[in-house]
Amino acid sequence: MRLLHVVGTRPNFMKVAPIMAAAERWNRESVGVPGGVVFEQTLVHTGQHYDRAMSEVFFEDLGLPEPTHFLNTGSGSHACQTASVMIALEPVLLETQPDLVVVVGDVNSTLAAALTAAKLQIPVAHVESGLRSRDRTMPEELNRIVTDAVADLLFTTCRDADENLLAEGIAAEKILFVGNPMIDSLEMCRQKALGRPILASLGLQSHEYAVVTLHRPSNVDSEEGLRRVVDVLQRLSHMISVVFPVHARTRRRLDDSGLAAGLSDCATLRLTEPLGYLDFLALMAQARLVLTDSGGIQEETTVLGVPCVTVRKSTERPVTVTEGTNRLADPDDVDDIMQVAGRALGAAASPSRPELWDGHAGERIVRALASWWDPRA
């Protein structure tokens, strides 16, 4: 069975790595089994993220193979980025003729790849399907809805995602609850990450600092939003030491607006370049608090048992609030963010494992792919 995986951005890499590794293990175990399914894997990188710190480091940290095809599409408006991926991917799909295209997450590359394959009548599997924030101003929400609408196999990470898909009229037999492959990567790398010297190199003590990541357009693209981010960073760093690995988008906005200057004279606030997977995992695992607007970090902190404040009005991952360590804070209200952060800092938190977030989602996905391809497998 020819699988073609498409990745494009930082949060895609840790989702695809466990699936590719599980397919390799499947192949090794099926050597000599007559009539068994064997996977032939191709990895396509769209190039949506291209800086070493946003891409290559993750391939090294996660043990991902070199991409077979690098499309070099880069940055641009949503339409340009989506269209560039479609234009560059189509000839690759025509040439390689995969039996299934696997897309993960909700970024523009995910949507573009799913649409390109579906238009060529190539079946599509969507991993991390069915998440809904119900906020259509989020570009990712549109990407999720459209990707799920054209996908043939929809792999979900939580039960509420199944319900969302059923409510949108997607046939039950296409939906497979398999757990969370991002947690597979976390479990695979946790020990190795804890051996990294990142805390010492940043002068931090375990459980005595907060990690901040903020990069959503809704938080950093407007000047008011960016001012609130700066305000939060300054106020939080009066409560606890803060490390802020700055995403490329946020860095550009801070530099263009001149607001970065207001952050340079605070001894308890460290701005760093974007970190690799292992360093960031080490930093998160030993933090007292994480304050973020990311999607995946809400899930990782739940499993790590680290209090998480998500600076967003809604989340497509409600299980991290109901079962995990996550709390939402109003992005338009700095006082609310500080109050929620204060409560999170004061509360006890312990690791939680939503159903099937057990480190074996990749294997379940591969088994499901094999039996989709050959029901006797």
Binding site for ligand UD1 (CB under 6 A): 9-11, 48-51, 54, 75, 107-108, 139-140, 215, 247-249, 252
List of residues 6+ apart from 94 with CB closer than 8 A: 120
Distance in angstroms (rounded) separating the CA atoms of residues 235 and 257: 20
One of 215, 238, 247, 360 is an active-site residue; which one? Answer: 215
Q: Of 123, 170, 177, give the one whose Cα is nearest residue 144.
A: 170
| Closer to ligand UD1 by Cβ: residue 176 or 283 | 283
Cβ distance to ligand UD1 smaller for residue 295 or 324: 295
- Residues with Cβ < 8 Å from 226, sequence gap 6 or more? 219, 220, 253, 254, 257, 259
In 3D space, the residue among 241, 239, 240, 244 whose CA is nearest the CA of residue 229 turns out to be 244
d(CA 307, CA 347): 8
Question: Do 87 and 123 contact (CB within 8 A), yes or no?
Answer: no
Least gap, CB of 75 to ligand UD1 (angstroms): 3
Report the nearest approach of ligand UD1 to the CB of residue 252 (Å). 5
* Least distance CB 250 / ligand UD1 (angstroms): 8
- Provide the sign of the torsion angle of the four alpha carbons 265, 266, 272, 274, taken in this order: negative
Between residues 23 and 62, which has the closer beta carbon with respect to ligand UD1? 62
Distance in Å, CB of 281 to ligand UD1, minimum: 16
Give which of 375, 365, 374, 367 is closest to 1, Cα–Cα. Answer: 374
Give me the half-sphere count of Cα atoms (radius 13 Å) on the Cβ side of residue 113.
33
Name the residue nearer to ligand UD1 (CB basis): 241 or 298.
298
Q: Tell me how crowded residue 195 is: count the other CB atoms within 10 A of its CB.
A: 8
Q: How far apart, in Å, do the first and last CA atoms of the chain sit?
A: 12
Cβ closest to ligand UD1, residue 142 vs residue 202? 142
Decide whether 72 or 205 has the Cβ nearer to ligand UD1. 72
Shortest approach of ligand UD1 to residue 35 CB, angstroms? 41
Type and span of the H or E element at 229: helix 223-239
In the residue annotation, 215 being an active-site residue is answered as yes
The nearest distance, CB 19 to ligand UD1, in angstroms, is 19
> Annotated active-site positions, please?
215
